[in-house]
Amino acid sequence: MTDGWAWDESLFEGAAAHYERGRLPYAEGFVAALADELGLDGSGRLLDVGCGPGTVTVPLAGWFAEAVGVDPDAGMLARARLRAARDGVGNVRWVRARAEDLPAGLGVFRVVVFAQSFHWTVQDAVAATVRGMLPPGGAFVHVGEVTEPSSTQGLPHPTPPYDGIADLLRRWLGPVRRAGRGFLP
């Protein structure tokens, strides 16, 4: 996270329903591919940091004995609870906390996932803390979006119009990147 920025409780306020409707889903087969790669077998524990409305937590929970979703936004956790109930997933515990609050007495996890959330953290400190929450052979999984021009090189599809998107954002949102009630320097 950029120096000089402080957490703002309003950052994701009211966004949970929009995440479910407006964010692109993960690729079909993502969960099965991750389970295969990590040799998941229904044992161990999963920690999803910045879990939002449970987009990754709920589908992955069946590959673990227990899953814990952590998010600082109460609205996100409320939607995650609804998603888990809707999908009949009962082995998830939801915890309202920031990544910087870890380990928060949560224990040890076979897998810790950051699905499009790691960039919102104080990365060095959070990564060091999470490393201490993983047993030998545990996995830190960072799922990121393809949003930067350098991340799309060599892909088989046309490159997104990054310059046009940046111009549109500046026109509608202004020249300074917002974060809740504040701005990122």
Residue 53: give its domain's CATH number. Answer: 3.40.50.150
Is residue 63 included in any domain, yes or no?
yes
Within a domain: 53: yes
**Is the pLDDT reported for residue 136 higher than 70?**
yes
* Region of poorest pLDDT, from 2-6, 110-114, 174-178: 2-6
- Tokens 């052979």 correspond to what residue? 137
Other C-beta atoms within 10 Å of 168: how many?
11
Mean pLDDT of the chain: 87
Does a structural domain hold residue 5?
A: no
CA distances from 43 to 4, 35, 38, 172 (A): 41, 12, 12, 47
Q: Is residue 137 part of a domain?
A: yes
Residue with tokens 């959070």: 126
Backbone φ and ψ of 47, nearest 5°: -120, 120
Indicate whether 102 belongs to any domain: yes
Tens-digit pLDDT profile for residues 88-117? 999 999 999 999 999 999 999 999 999 988
Count of domains in the chain? 1
Range of the domain at 63: 16-146
